Amino acid sequence: MVFSSVEFLALFLPLFFIAYLATPSSARNLTLCCGSWMFYAWWKPVFLLLIIGITFAAWFLGREMSRAAERRERQIMIGGIVVILGCLAWFKYANLLVRTADEALASLHTGPIPWTNVILPIALSFTVLQAVSYLIDVRRRTVAAEPSFISFAAYLDMFPHLIAGPIIRYSWVDKALIERDLTFEDMSIGARRFMLGFAVKVLIADTLAPVVEAAFTLTHPSFVDAWLGNICFAFQIFFDFAGYSAMAIGLGRMLGFKYPENFRDPYLAVTIQDFWRRWHISLSSWLRDYLYISLGGNRYGDVRTYTNLLLTMAIGGLWHGASWSFLLWGVIHGAALAIGRFWNQRGLWMTATLSYPLTLLTVLFAWTPFRATSWDGTLAMLSGQIGLNGFAISDQMVLTLRPLLIVWIGVAFAVVFWPAIKSRFFPRFESSGEWWEALWPIAVFLYAIAVMMGHQTVPFLYFQF
């Protein structure tokens, strides 16, 4: 079940909120926990056991750490992290390792390895990162171990962010787990965020999907094909994932939780460092606080710092998916971060007029292996982007460019760059009034529902990660 589906909007969500609002405040964590498990079990009930198992392990180990001596506490934390990451490694990377081994064996004219593909459970990647951050925070004394399993499960398995984030830290919600108010203001603000997130997901991200699919399946894309597909994917993944984050933040607000923002105009970033302060903020801050700093950060000289940046982003790339092309995406960003740090440390200066397009081009080039997910597909798109396959648009791409789709590409461009357009051309622009601010999201939401009913439900891109 996904947020942009009839089952969720017409069945699960209204029934859950009726139960949640009818539950006494002291028992709402139980209702939230049970509702979240039912939401997850809708996909594959058997994998709910895995999610509950990881949840119980993190909760139990956190309790044990709070009672253990210093040395024993560290051993419990390391053991717990190894086990939890081991679950992720098995389900996410076993197929990749077997495929890689088969390719190596094929060159030796042997193999393949007898193997049945392992299914990757949805939500596992995000659940694991949250569980790991919780154990580390308990070890660092940033948070106290949660005494109630139900409250901890309500945090870790909360359905708004369960499937695709944001990556919520326990310290962000620990007080709300104990006591939270459900106000009309929070409900209305949350509903508005949910409706807007739903609209951009369905109307923009899903509409751009056919163009992206057509471009990335061409064997010899032209310059126009490759860049049109690449730019449309940049818009698609932004509105898909930012839309999900907005929906999650809105639902959390309606439940009494205030999640931090996960996106902040990332395509307006003037440096690659600035990009990662704006894009998937919960992940970039997680990588910084729990991986980069744990590797030593910038405490041991320049060479070690650049190595840590590369390694952190490479691991971040592999976290996104079981493909070596994701590793390439991470390495590109790690190298760009290292180069940017080297540039700044040497006191070199670059105007925003030059640094902005360089940053945007780096981000766009990096999206190519991220979307292609194979070496052959990546090389085909990159060759098209540098003009090796000619420049004219192909017939296949022309067939996908319906008039309404071109309109939504324009809308996507306007929304992404509106802050820059407003500051440059409409500095005194003001909202037209509260009644319009309240009504237009409802109108767009209803239109998006009508569009959704007319086509098959499109899963969120980050479900596969």
**Long-range contacts, stretch 373-381, CB < 8 angstroms, 24+ apart:** 373/321, 373/323, 373/325, 373/326, 374/323, 374/325, 375/324, 375/325, 377/216, 377/325, 378/325, 378/328, 380/218, 380/219, 380/220, 380/221, 381/215, 381/216, 381/221, 381/226, 381/229, 381/230
Q: How far apart are CA 451 and CA 7, in angstroms?
A: 15
Q: How remote is the C-alpha of 220 from its chain's centroid?
A: 30
Residues annotated as catalytic are 320
**Long-range contacts, stretch 25-32, CB < 8 angstroms, 24+ apart:** 25/179, 25/180, 28/180, 28/256, 29/148, 29/150, 29/151, 29/154, 29/177, 30/150, 30/154, 32/154, 32/158, 32/159, 32/255
Q: How far apart are CA 230 and CA 208, in angstroms?
A: 11
Q: How far apart are CA 325 and CA 140, in angstroms?
A: 34
Dihedral angle computed from the Cα positions of residues 247, 251, 257 and 259, in that order, rounded to the nearest 10 degrees: 0
The DSSP annotation for 109-134 comes to T--PPP--PPPPPTTHHHHHHHHHHH
Per-residue buried b or exposed e for 106-131, using 16+ beta carbons within 10 Å of the residue's own CB: eeeeeeeeeeeeeebbbbbbbbbbbb
Longest Cα–Cα distance of the chain, Å, equals 71
Contacts for 207 with CB less than 8 Å, ≥ 6 apart: 404, 405, 408
* Closest listed residue to residue 20, CA positions, set 248, 182, 246, 259: 182
Q: How many residues does the chain have?
A: 465
Residue the block writes with tokens 């990660």: 465
Indicate if the alpha-carbon torsion angle 312, 313, 318, 319 is positive or negative.
Answer: positive
Kindly list the distances between the CA atom of residue 126 and the CA atoms of 34, 93, 132, 399, 433, in Å, as whole numbers in the listed order: 19, 15, 10, 37, 39
